[in-house]
Structure 1
């Protein structure tokens, strides 16, 4: 295939694959916790890290990771302890991160508005081997946390109070979710861009929720959607010369619209099956039989 002949496209597709896996894997916890816009806020803060990377002549990806982790921890602490002025503190953190990034890039000798734009909206040609190595290491961390602690993270996402009663370290797990979200932003910024990464963390999860009924199924389907739109959007960007981040996000929104449309007849079918099952059980009770187990195996009474 022509697209695989170019070394920069090989790196871009590998980065897109990793982004498609990690973004929904973390985003599902943010959606469950009603923190869908947290990724957007972390993206603003990460801009300061990008600016510091240019100013100090170090890797913008690693510097953005460090700064976004600090910002994500601050956000979680503000959420946990903040009261009436918590939203004001978060707003200042978001806007301060964006302003700091722009200022630091302009103060640096190697940075420019064009360089910053590639981090804001994603760029295929600028994914270097160093960037890909950093993305792979960070994505590995995200996957290990998401799969290794999936039960604990699910518990705090559903009900923090119940998780606390069962003895789980809720505050530590909340901070871990924040840190994982920050790392995911750093993973995705070279492909999707800091301003659009939140959409890839949220939209595939929202699309999967239209058809799935369990956490595990939602997790699996959302990751599949994330991988599909990330790879398709990257390939489309190569052939049509369009921004990769915007293309990926619009594809994800298109999948959401299609799944929402498909969810209507599916929900009706499920309702009819439930009514049929209820009617059959009522008929059994009417003739003095206990409810039967209708699973396709031998019916046990």
Structure 2
């Protein structure tokens, strides 16, 4: 035990490990708050769809950066800006636009919500993978794709600027959720009654979709685009095993998500496992633990 503590103390002396922990906890907290709402509204897979859109946007950003470098012989300032921000200037607005389109398309009587998500999700993933293969910036295409999809190493390569950006976006998400808590609560449980009461339900649904898009973009560096849905869904489902009220489920979900993120990052450091997969594995273990406790409680 003392040896492992010494290893952790040694690793946390490096700034990039501290950055990974800070960003990981912030993302876990934000995703857990929205996860409860998305699960209750039966719109959980919007996270999956938007994560694939973010992957496609990342591919476009990479292709644009490579093309600009080749055209200017490595002297393009915009290409350097794209690299410094990990393409956030393209990924964030594209994902936000996709969230709006997904909501509008899902309300179309000709294209149902699940079909719209599948259409955008698969299309973005296919186009993104094709672009990365055609305009690859390195010889290790498989490694680059796996890192983006599963977040194997990107969480440990965060810069100080990315940490500040993540912190700012996390503050925005938390502020919006706290300020509009009552409205989000009413839209989550009974949208028809909320509309009858004068609440602009469509506007708050749009707000939820936009916040979800922000969380997706933040979480790409932590767990990768394929595992983001697990980070959103599992803490909420775990909390629902034992608690019934909206507020208690949210608080429990936030605690579970933050603890699992912290434990997952520490375990990944000690045993050299992928951070994203380790965090999701911790969430799965907690889910089965809470399910077992719930089953025992009901029998008694």
Distance, in Å, in 2 between the alignment partners of 1:175 and 1:232 is: 33
The residue that corresponds to 2:127 in the other structure is 100
The residue that corresponds to 2:150 in the other structure is 121
Report the alpha carbon displacement of residue 263 of structure 1 after superposing the two structures with TM: 1.3
| Aligned-pair Cα RMSD in Å | 1.8
1:116-154 Cα deviation digits (max 9, x unpaired): 332211123222223222211221121111111111011
Distance, in Å, in 2 between the alignment partners of 1:62 and 1:238 is: 30
Specify the SS of the correspondent of 2:248: helix
1:8 aligns with 2:8: no
Of 132-141 and 196-205, the range deviating more from structure 2: 132-141
Residue of 154, 157, 165 corresponding to 2:196: 165
- Superposition TM-score, scaled by structure 1 size: 0.84
Report the alpha carbon displacement of residue 4 of structure 1 after superposing the two structures with TM: 1.0
Gaps of 5+ in 2: 1-8, 65-78
Distance, in Å, in 1 between the alignment partners of 2:148 and 2:292 is: 34
1:65 aligns with 2:92: yes
Figure out how many residues of one structure are paired with residues of the other and give that number.
269
Query: Would you say the 8 A contact 2:105–2:112 is kept in 1?
Result: no
1:29-52 Cα deviation digits (max 9, x unpaired): 100101111101110111122112
Change (3 A) 1:208 1:160: same
Of 240-249 and 73-82, the range deviating more from structure 2: 73-82
Gaps of 5+ in 1: 270-301
1:221-276 Cα deviation digits (max 9, x unpaired): 1000000011110111111111111111111010011111111233355xxxxxxx
Distance, in Å, in 2 between the alignment partners of 1:118 and 1:261 is: 34
1:51-102 Cα deviation digits (max 9, x unpaired): 1222333132342221111111111111222335654443221111112222
1:40 aligns with 2:48: yes
Query: Would you say the 8 A contact 1:27–1:202 is kept in 2?
Result: yes
Report the alpha carbon displacement of residue 5 of structure 1 after superposing the two structures with TM: 1.0
Larger proportion of helix: 2
Specify the SS of the correspondent of 2:222: coil
The residue that corresponds to 1:74 in the other structure is 101
Report the alpha carbon displacement of residue 108 of structure 1 after superposing the two structures with TM: 4.5
1:204 aligns with 2:260: no
Look at both structures and tell me which one has the larger radius of gyration over its CA atoms. Answer: 1
Report the alpha carbon displacement of residue 2 of structure 1 after superposing the two structures with TM: 2.2
The residue that corresponds to 1:52 in the other structure is 60
Of 97-106 and 9-18, the range deviating more from structure 2: 97-106
The residue that corresponds to 2:28 in the other structure is 20
The residue that corresponds to 1:298 in the other structure is none
Distance, in Å, in 2 between the alignment partners of 1:89 and 1:37 is: 11
The residue that corresponds to 1:176 in the other structure is 207
Distance, in Å, in 1 between the alignment partners of 2:144 and 2:172 is: 27
Higher relative contact order (CA 8 A, sep 6+): 2
Query: Would you say the 8 A contact 1:61–1:131 is kept in 2?
Result: no
Specify the SS of the correspondent of 2:259: helix
Specify the SS of the correspondent of 2:223: coil
Change (3 A) 1:15 1:145: same
Distance, in Å, in 2 between the alignment partners of 1:33 and 1:79 is: 13
